[in-house]
């Protein structure tokens, strides 16, 4: 009489959220020595890994001489089914293969079953469940309040310009749209490296990185100074730049 124990439903179980079986279960189900199954796993490991990494664990087992350790392979459904094709297709192997596929299928089916709703009266009468429910609710409320605090300044800033059709404009006009004083906006743009003046120059220019980002652009304009027409380069804030500034200026520490 064989001393191999028959396969049990526990031969397929969840490990880190994935349904797996073991080389031990396969050895028992196919009536092979476990050492032979491990050798087969090692031999065809590259094939098995096409369906995911093969994991190995050290598991204790009892012998007449005391507790010893052995290497056990963890295999998913595809890996275990493929491994069985490398065994001699005996009646025992075919029977086990069907049983193994069925156990994987039943475990997947059980996972798809909806969790029955908790009995409200049972929850109310259980202090531990009530405490967990209230803690979970409080955490969600705090998370929503924090998200609202983060979004509110940006939403308010965008509301300022949402109803306007905005093209590129000078800094003074942009200040009106952003509802700030022109001098304050000039200072902010200079302090935060949006605009600068060349040494000895009077015209404001945009930093190249802001121009490349689409926040600023330059326009050539002419002015009559002392009866003489002169050409100047003027920095303009684009619609994209206005939207960016609206968000930055709404933050406690704009930068």
pLDDT digits (tens, 9 = 90+) for 13-50: 988 889 999 999 999 999 999 999 999 999 999 999 99
Contact 246, 160 (CB under 8 A): yes
Burial of 189 (0-12, 13-18, 19+ CB in 10 A): buried
**What is the pLDDT at residue 99?**
93
Which residues are paired to 55 by β-bridges?
A: 74
Lowest mean pLDDT segment, chosen from 4-18, 71-85, 215-229: 4-18
CA within 13 Å, CB half, 46 = 1
Give per-residue pLDDT as tens, 164-175. Answer: 445 788 999 888
Percentage of the chain exceeding pLDDT 70: 75
pLDDT at 126 over 70: yes
Give the rounded distance of the alpha carbon of 227 from its chain centre. 64
Residue 178's pLDDT band, with cuts at 50, 70 and 90, is confident
* Non-local CB neighbours of 167 within 8 Å, separated by 6+ positions: 238, 239
> How high is the pLDDT of residue 77?
95
Cite the beta strand spans of the chain per DSSP E. Answer: 13-15, 18-22, 55-63, 66-75, 195-197, 204-206, 216-225, 228-237
For 18, 51, 83, 235, the CA distances from 98, given in Å and listed in that order, are 20, 20, 14, 76
Q: What is the pLDDT of residue 113?
A: 72
**pLDDT category of residue 6 using cuts at 50, 70 and 90:** very low
Structure tokens at 225: 């100074």
Q: Does residue 119 or residue 55 have the better pLDDT?
A: 55
Q: What is the pLDDT of residue 40?
A: 96
* Paired strand residues for 219: 234
Mean pLDDT value across the chain? 81
Work out the pLDDT band at 219, boundaries 50, 70, 90. confident
For residue 253, the model assigns a pLDDT of 52
Instruction: Read off the pLDDT band of 72 (50, 70, 90).
Output: very high
């Amino acid at each position: 009489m064989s001393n191999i124990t028959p396969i049990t439903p526990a031969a397929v179980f969840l490990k880190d959220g994935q349904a797996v079986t073991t080389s031990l279960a396969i050895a028992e189900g196919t009536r092979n020595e476990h050492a032979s199954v491990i050798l087969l796993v090692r031999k065809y490991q590259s094939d098995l890994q096409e369906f995911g990494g093969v994991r190995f664990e050290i598991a204790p087992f009892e012998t007449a001489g005391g507790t010893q350790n052995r290497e056990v392979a963890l295999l998913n459904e595809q890996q275990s089914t493929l491994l069985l094709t490398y065994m001699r297709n005996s009646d025992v192997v075919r029977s086990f293969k069907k049983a193994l596929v069925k156990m994987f299928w039943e475990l997947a089916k059980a996972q798809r079953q909806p969790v029955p709703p908790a009995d409200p009266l049972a929850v109310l009468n259980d202090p531990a469940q009530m405490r967990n429910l209230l803690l979970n609710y409080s955490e969600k409320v705090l998370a929503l309040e924090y998200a609202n605090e983060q979004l509110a300044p940006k939403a308010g800033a965008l509301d300022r310009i949402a109803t306007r059709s905005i093209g590129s404009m000078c800094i003074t006009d942009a200040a009106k749209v952003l509802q700030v004083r022109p001098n304050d906006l000039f200072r902010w743009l200079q302090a935060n490296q949006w605009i600068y003046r060349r040494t000895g120059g009077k015209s404001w220019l945009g930093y190249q990185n802001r121009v490349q980002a689409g926040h600023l652009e330059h326009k050539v304009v002419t002015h009559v100074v002392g009866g003489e027409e002169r050409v100047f380069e003027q920095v303009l804030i684009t619609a994209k730049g206005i939207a960016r500034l609206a968000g930055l200026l709404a933050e406690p520490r704009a930068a």
